[in-house]
Structure 1
Amino acid sequence: MAQTIKRYTEEEYLSLERNAEAKSEFYQGEITAMEGATRNHNIISGNFFAYLHLKLKGKGCRPYSNDMRLHTPGTAFYTYPDIVVVCGKDEFLDNEFDTLLNPVFLVEVLSHSTADYDNGRKFMRYRAIPDLKEYWTISSYEHRIVKNLKNDSDNSWVLTETTNLQDEMKISSLDIIVSLNEIYEGTEILKNL
């Protein structure tokens, strides 16, 4: 006999999530527990967050780490990107101020188990965010950064990829340049070279 999957409303999810010990993602009634992160994942995310925090001071933009929930307006999708940057006034879902609506820049640090999802369905859902200008995925198991930049004239996305540690990439939506070396500093990936 097939097992019935319990479906939740967005309100039920938010009520459960706001009292939960572990984070979970929500899409169209289904709640999925989020995986823990590896050491490399934490180092990469921490390095990039610290770099953004320093570079964005006084520029009217704020980075948030992986504990800031994001909702894609017009969909039933809630998730926790590794890094979220908002420029201007933060827009929240409600008066709890824990669910952002208006990121301009998103980052996901990839693991073997999340790479296909983060580059596929999740990116498709992120593209529904009107303010989003740029989406990066950063591998935690090899030197690889993929930059997806929105072309405002036709809403298409342009992909740029780099694997060279000496390369620098521009975060076009924030007018900041970062090197792969800065992002990967302290990871096991660098030690294995």
Structure 2
Amino acid sequence: MTRPMDGTAMSQAKQTKMTVEEFFDWQQRQDRNYELVDGVPVLTVKAMTGASRRHDRVTVNALATLHAALRGKPCSATTDDQSVLTDRGTRRPDITVDCGRADDRSMSTADPRVVVEVLSPSTVRYDRFQKLEEYKRHPAIKVILLVDSEAPQVTVWRRVDGEWTYAEQIGLDAVIALPEIDAELPLSELYADLTFDTPSG
């Protein structure tokens, strides 16, 4: 599902596919965030539907925790205003840990090491399958965190010796070790100030 673009931009996009460079130039003139998928600008799911307060709280908690853990270190956490280049175009993870040195005016990460997607009922299938596979094909990404917004549970995908493995971290006592960026992410901080309908872990 995509939201139509405005005016001539939509007509041009239908006729010719954009390069990444053309897309970023076009994106700067838009008032909402898009991703480039197979040459076609697509409005992000969050831009179409908005984000629930739970999704926003988990995202802010993750960003704050990673920002504090990475202070003074080579890597830094970025929001979904920064794109990750993929083999299909661009994606906008909720959070990316970038360990490269991109130009301050760049619209994409230079060396994305960890990506975080906070799952919502409306996006869980899309994030768990389509976007996940694109991230796994990215040569720089080492860890992919799929964070459940409805329960204290995170699926951790990790590249080990060229192969992807996954594990579930469940419960507020769990801590996700991230040696790839010299940090860790406690679930108690990730889910701070949230309550759950049923106990987990």
Give the alignment's TM-score, normalised by structure 1: 0.85
- Aligned partner of 1:104 among 104, 108, 113: 113
Return the alpha-carbon distance in structure 1 between the equivalents of residues 125 and 101 of structure 2.
30
Return the alpha-carbon distance in structure 2 between the equivalents of residues 91 and 46 of structure 1.
23
Which structure's residues are more often helix, by fraction? Answer: 2
**Cα contact 1:71–1:101 (8 A) shared by 2:** no
| 1:69 corresponds to | 83
| 1:183 corresponds to | 190
| 2:101 corresponds to | 90
Length, aligned pairs only: 181
| 1:136 corresponds to | 145
| 2:130 corresponds to | 121
Return the alpha-carbon distance in structure 2 between the equivalents of residues 65 and 56 of structure 1.
14
**Cα contact 1:102–1:130 (8 A) shared by 2:** no
State the one-letter code of the partner of 2:70: L
CA shift at 1:176, angstroms? 2.1
**Cα contact 2:93–2:116 (8 A) shared by 1:** yes
Q: CA RMSD in A?
A: 2.1
Q: Percent identity?
A: 25
| 1:166 corresponds to | 173
Give the alignment's TM-score, normalised by structure 2: 0.81
Return the alpha-carbon distance in structure 2 between the equivalents of residues 172 and 112 of structure 1.
30
